[in-house]
């Protein structure tokens, strides 16, 4: 519980859902430098010889292997790398509620990777990275304080992450790996599936049915809107938002009280939380009096894995397979 509160506090300050959202994590006291917009995006690669090429990342130019074989990724993009055809030997795509294990939706994809921390931590298991003998290390702006140490181990690429548009993060990773065509093809397939799933939902439950997804944590409600599960519902599937919902203006999830939650008039609700948080939610009179709750038009989902699932490309794809079966 303590870990996820640190994570959500970081989100509230504009740092990272599913999700997932999400809803960043402890050890974030050191300020992370933010590159200017003109340096934040990954620039096209320039080949230097038959074995290496030069790319421009959030820190500047870096020479990386043309075909890396031993990738350590602590940026949180290990799932994206798998989509692009790479296997990582070290990852920080751990579960938001237990950093020692993988989230359920990535257990098969990353089963052979060593867990080195959690992607929204600013420090990782340095000795663990060294022991893996990587030929390429990928970090995000959250781990910039480790850049000098890591770059002495292997070529290190720093990504400017935490975009509200998850597709931009995916495209940036693809540009680093010179796999933009694969990323575009995967996104095209995903978007088509999302639209088809949304159309089936509208046909089954009504064109104008509205949906709300949120994380209950520590007595506060974190609304999924432009990120995590919310962006799957509204952007990808084309489902309708309810009245009274706060808009997400940046990477931070909008936070409302129980009173604010009660003011959102949704036809159907996805409530995500731990057993403790969901018990607190369901005991609340304002929750009990919501129209969707009175009509039993809601589903509760465990925080692990559903909080983070909406922030993972693979997690999003799997959620499309699940959502129709989740509906009561």
Question: What structural domains and CATH numbers belong to the chain?
Answer: 34-178 (3.40.50.1980), 184-326 (3.40.50.1980)
Q: What pLDDT is attached to residue 6?
A: 47
Q: Is the model's pLDDT at 86 over the cut of 60?
A: yes
* Average pLDDT, integer, range 41-54: 66
> In angstroms, what CA-CA distances link 40 with 84, 141, 320?
21, 10, 31
Q: 172 or 41, which is more confident?
A: 172
Q: What pLDDT is attached to residue 251?
A: 76
Mean pLDDT estimate for the chain: 87
Q: How confident is the model at residue 47 (pLDDT cuts 50, 70, 90)?
A: low
Q: How far apart are CA 261 and CA 269, in angstroms?
A: 11
- Using a pLDDT cut of 70, give the percent of the chain over it: 84
Q: What pLDDT is attached to residue 217?
A: 95
Beta bridge partners of 281: none
Q: What pLDDT is attached to residue 241?
A: 97
What tens digit of pLDDT does each residue of 112-136 get?
Answer: 999 999 999 999 999 999 999 999 9
Instruction: Give the least confident one: 15-29, 46-60, 302-316.
Output: 15-29
* Average pLDDT, integer, range 79-101: 96
Q: What pLDDT is attached to residue 250?
A: 78
pTM value is: 0.83
- Using a pLDDT cut of 90, give the percent of the chain over it: 77
Q: Is the model's pLDDT at 10 over the cut of 90?
A: no
Q: How far apart are CA 81 and CA 186, in angstroms?
A: 12
∠ CA 64-80-226, nearest 5°, is 125
Peptide bond into 19 cis (omega under 30): yes
What tens digit of pLDDT does each residue of 294-319 get?
Answer: 999 999 999 999 999 999 999 999 99
Q: Is the model's pLDDT at 24 over the cut of 70?
A: no
Q: What pLDDT is attached to residue 288?
A: 97
What tens digit of pLDDT does each residue of 228-278 get?
Answer: 999 999 999 999 999 999 988 877 899 999 999 999 999 999 999 999 999
* Average pLDDT, integer, range 269-289: 97
CB 120 within 8 A of CB 147: no
Place of tokens 């420090």: 123
> Which ranges of 133-274 would DSSP assign to H, the alpha helix?
147-151, 166-176, 180-205, 228-231, 258-262
Q: What pLDDT is attached to residue 46?
A: 57
Q: How confident is the model at residue 160 (pLDDT cuts 50, 70, 90)?
A: confident
């Amino acid at each position: 519980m303590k870990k996820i509160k640190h994570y959500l506090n970081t989100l509230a300050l504009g740092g990272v859902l599913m999700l997932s959202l999400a809803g960043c994590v402890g050890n974030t006291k050191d300020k992370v430098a933010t590159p200017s917009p003109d340096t934040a995006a990954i620039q096209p690669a320039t080949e230097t010889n038959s074995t290496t090429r030069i790319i421009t990342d959030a820190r500047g130019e870096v020479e990386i292997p043309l075909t890396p074989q031993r990738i350590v990724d602590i940026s949180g993009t290990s799932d994206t790398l798998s989509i692009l055809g790479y296997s990582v030997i070290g990852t920080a795509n751990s579960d938001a509620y237990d950093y020692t294990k993988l989230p359920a939706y990535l257990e098969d994809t990353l089963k052979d990777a060593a867990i080195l921390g959690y992607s929204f931590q600013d420090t990782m298991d340095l000795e663990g990275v060294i022991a893996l003998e990587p030929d390429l290390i990928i970090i995000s702006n959250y781990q910039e304080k480790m850049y000098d140490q890591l770059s002495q181990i292997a070529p290190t690429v720093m990504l400017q992450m935490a975009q509200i548009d998850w597709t931009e993060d995916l495209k940036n990773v693809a540009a680093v790996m010179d796999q933009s065509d694969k990323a575009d093809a995967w996104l095209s397939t995903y978007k088509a599936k999302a639209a088809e799933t949304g159309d089936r939902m509208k046909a089954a439950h009504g064109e104008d049915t509205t949906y709300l997804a949120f994380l209950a944590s520590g007595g506060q409600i974190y609304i999924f809107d432009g990120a995590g599960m919310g962006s799957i519902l509204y952007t990808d599937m084309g489902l309708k938002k309810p009245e009274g919902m706060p808009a997400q203006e940046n990477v931070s999830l909008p936070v409302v009280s129980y009173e604010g939650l009660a003011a959102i008039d949704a036809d159907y609700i996805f409530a995500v939380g731990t057993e403790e948080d969901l018990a607190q939610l369901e005991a609340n009179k304002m929750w009990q009096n919501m129209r969707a709750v009175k009509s039993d038009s809601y589903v509760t989902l465990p925080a692990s894995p559903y909080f983070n699932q909406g922030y993972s490309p693979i997690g999003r794809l799997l959620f499309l397979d699940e959502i129709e079966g989740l509906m009561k």
